[in-house]
Structure 1
Amino acid sequence: MSTARGIRRLDPLHVVDVFVYVTVLNLTAQWVPQVITESFTTSLFTAIVLKLVLEAVLWLKKAVLTRLKSASTWPRRVVSIVVLVLLLPGSKLVVLELIHLIFGDAVALGGFFLVTALIIVLMLARRGVRWLLAPRGASAPITD
C-alpha cells in the first residue's frame, strides 16, 4: 500500500466498495419497503458503517478458518466450528443493532433475514465490481 511519495492513506478499493454499498443500499431502500434511509447522507454513512463491520467480520472469519485449518486436536476444531457458526448469524444481529444505535429511526434495514439478504447482495455486488475493475487477463477479482 505504499506509493512513490510515501504511504497511501486509503486503498481506492475501499472507496469503490463504499460507493457500491451506498448504491445497493439506496436501490434496496427504493424497492423494499422495510428498508428505510431518510436521506442520501444517512445512506452514505450507513454504507461506511456496513463497510467497516463487514470488513471486521471477514477478517474474523478468515482468522477462525485459519485456526480451524491449523487445529491439531478435535476440541480446537470443535471450538473453531462453533465460533464460525455463531459468527455468521451473530454478525447480522450486530449490524442491525449497531445501525439502530448509530442512526436510530433514520435507518431501518428490516429484520434478520432482510439484512442477511442485503449483506449477500452487497458482497456479490462488491465482487462483481472488483471483477469489472480487474486488469485484463486477471482470472480472479481484485482482493485486499
Structure 2
Amino acid sequence: MTEQPATATVPAWVVAHRADVVDLFVYVVVLNLAVEHVPAVISEGFTLSLLTAALLKVTLELVILLKGLVLARLRAATTRRVQTTSAVMLWVVAAGSKLVVLWLIDIVFGGSVSLGGFIPVTLLVLVLLMSRSAVRRLLYGAPALEEG
C-alpha cells in the first residue's frame, strides 16, 4: 500500500499512524463485545469504552516494547545466569502487565469500568492482540504487521 499525502480533511498524524487508529477501533469493538458477553467486564458507556480502549492501546504498546527488549536480552544471553534472569523478567512483564492494566483502569476510571480480575483481563488482552494482528494482516498484509 503506498503512502498518500495528508489532505485538509485527514490530519497528517492520522495518515502517519493509520495502524494505530485501526488498532483503537479494533480495541473498541473487542472491548464492547466483552462488555456485552462477559459479565465481569463492565463499562458504563461508549465514551468510557473508547477511553478505556485508548488506555489499553497505550499500555499494551509499552508492554510490547518492554517484552521486545527483554526478548532481545534473552536471545543475546551467553550465560545461563543471564538467560534465567531474562526468562524471569519476561514472565514478570507478561504477568505483571495484566496487573498494571487492572491498576490503571481502577485509578483512571474507578468503578465506572471493570475488566474483571486477572483471568478475564488476560483473556481480553490476548483477544485484543489477536484481533489487532488479524485486522492488520487483512488491511496491510503480513509485512505491515510491524507498522504503527
TM-score by length of 1: 0.89
Q: Distance in 2 between matches of 1:116 and 1:141?
A: 25
Q: Which of residues 45, 52, 59 is equivalent to 2:65?
A: 59
For 1:37 and 1:142, locate their aligned partners in 2 and report how far apart those are by CA, in whole Å: 29
When the two structures are superposed, what TM-score results if normalisation uses the length of structure 2? 0.87
Partner of residue 9, structure 2:
none
Aligned residue number for residue 56 of structure 2: 50
Higher RCO structure (Cα 8 Å, ≥6 apart): 2
Q: Does 2:138 correspond to 1:143?
A: no
Q: Secondary structure at the match of 1:33?
A: coil
Among residues 112, 115, 121, which one is paired with 1:115 in the alignment?
A: 121
Q: Secondary structure at the match of 1:28?
A: helix
Letter in 2 for 1:88: A
Instruction: Please report how far the alpha carbon of residue 75 of structure 1 lies from its aligned counterpart in structure 2 after TM superposition.
Output: 1.4
One-letter amino acid of the structure 2 residue matched with residue 18 of structure 1: L
| Distance in 1 between residues matched to 2:53 and 2:79, nearest whole Å | 40
Q: Quote the offset at 1:143 in angstroms.
A: 2.0
Identity among equivalent pairs (%): 46
Q: Which runs of 5+ in 2 are unaligned?
A: 7-11
- Structure 1 stretches lacking a partner, 5+ long: none
- Root mean square deviation of aligned Cα: 1.8
2:22 aligned residue:
16
